[in-house]
């Protein structure tokens, strides 16, 4: 169902791609990357019924730049942790991206079950949100449609994630939602120069098991444990 899949590849460049699918079409991810290294995605416009770009286990050294997303579910790392033995995701940069009317902006998601997976050294920067439901979200209790949810603490370790120069409008009150694992709390989360507005008022932030720091102008006020 995915449009473009990059699996088991090294040094791939995707540029100037346009993907268009109905906003209600399930599992129509625009570009999916997994078990690959050195993938670059540039100058693309993606509108689907699922993630514009999804990043699966084993993706390393990934660069995503100048991508316009909408409709869709945003740019997502994950879902991770579906398998107990799973390769991690690391060294991912997402920069100069725009989200319009999407369910999520920049998202990391993992299943609530035992896993040796991880996501680390992630940079989300220079992102513009236009009426996005969840502009910044970490969801370690991911379970679509709430069907057959494992209901455990996620074993996926999320660390060293930077959100830098992210601004625009949230379609819901909570513009920053960091719902991390009780077993493996998120560490090294950094909010730098973030400004998210909901109905002309500052959006709210919600943090669970999330440690890190905030610097520069950050709105909503950071709820990270320092």
pLDDT digits (tens, 9 = 90+) for 173-206: 999 999 999 999 999 999 999 999 999 999 999 9
Q: Longest Cα pair distance anywhere in the chain, in angstroms?
A: 45
In a domain, 194, yes or no: no
Torsions phi, psi of 131, nearest 5? 55, 55
Residue 110 lies in a domain: yes
Q: Is residue 111 part of a domain?
A: yes
**Is 69 part of a structural domain of the chain?**
yes
Residue 153 forms part of a structural domain? yes
213 belongs to a structural domain: no
Q: Which residues are the active-site residues?
A: 73
On whether residue 6 sits in a domain, the answer given is: yes
Q: pLDDT at position 146, please?
A: 83
**Phi first, then psi: what are they for 11, rounded to 5°?**
55, 65
Query: 138 CB contacts (<8 Å, ≥6 apart)?
Result: 107, 108, 109, 158, 161, 177, 178, 179, 180, 186, 189, 210
165 belongs to a structural domain: yes
pLDDT value of residue 220: 96
- In this predicted model, what pLDDT tens digit does every residue of 65-99 receive, in sequence order? 999 999 999 999 999 999 999 999 999 999 999 99
- How far the first Cα of the chain sits from its last, in Å, is 42
Q: Which domain holds residue 144?
A: 2-185
How many domains, in total, are found in the chain?
1
What is the domain-level CATH number for residue 109?
2.160.20.10
Average pLDDT across the chain, whole number? 97
Give residue-wise pLDDT tens across range 135-174: 999 999 999 888 888 889 999 999 999 999 999 999 999 9
Whether pTM > 0.75 for this model: the answer is yes
């Amino acid at each position: 169902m995915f449009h473009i899949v990059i699996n088991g590849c090294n040094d791939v460049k995707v540029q100037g791609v346009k993907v268009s699918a109905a906003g209600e079409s399930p599992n129509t991810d625009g570009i999916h990357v997994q078990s690959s290294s050195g993938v670059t995605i540039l100058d693309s416009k993606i509108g689907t019924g699922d993630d514009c770009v999804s990043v699966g286990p084993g993706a390393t050294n990934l660069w995503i730049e100048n991508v316009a997303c909408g409709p869709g579910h945003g740019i997502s790392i994950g879902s991770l942790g579906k398998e107990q033995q799973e390769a991690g995701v690391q060294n991912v940069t997402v920069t100069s991206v725009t989200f319009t009317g999407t369910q999520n902006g920049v998202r990391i998601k993992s299943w609530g079950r035992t896993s040796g997976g991880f996501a680390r050294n992630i940079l989300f920067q220079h992102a513009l949100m236009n009426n996005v439901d969840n502009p910044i979200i970490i969801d370690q209790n991911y379970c679509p449609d709430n069907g057959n949810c494992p209901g455990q603490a996620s074993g996926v370790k999320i660390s060293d994630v930077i959100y830098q120069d992210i601004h625009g409008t949230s379609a819901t009150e909570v513009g920053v939602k960091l719902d991390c694992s009780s077993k493996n709390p998120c560490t090294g989360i950094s909010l730098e120069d973030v400004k998210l507005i909901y109905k002309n008022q500052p959006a709210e932030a919600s943090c669970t098991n999330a440690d890190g720091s905030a610097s520069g102008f950050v709105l909503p006020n950071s709820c990270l444990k320092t």
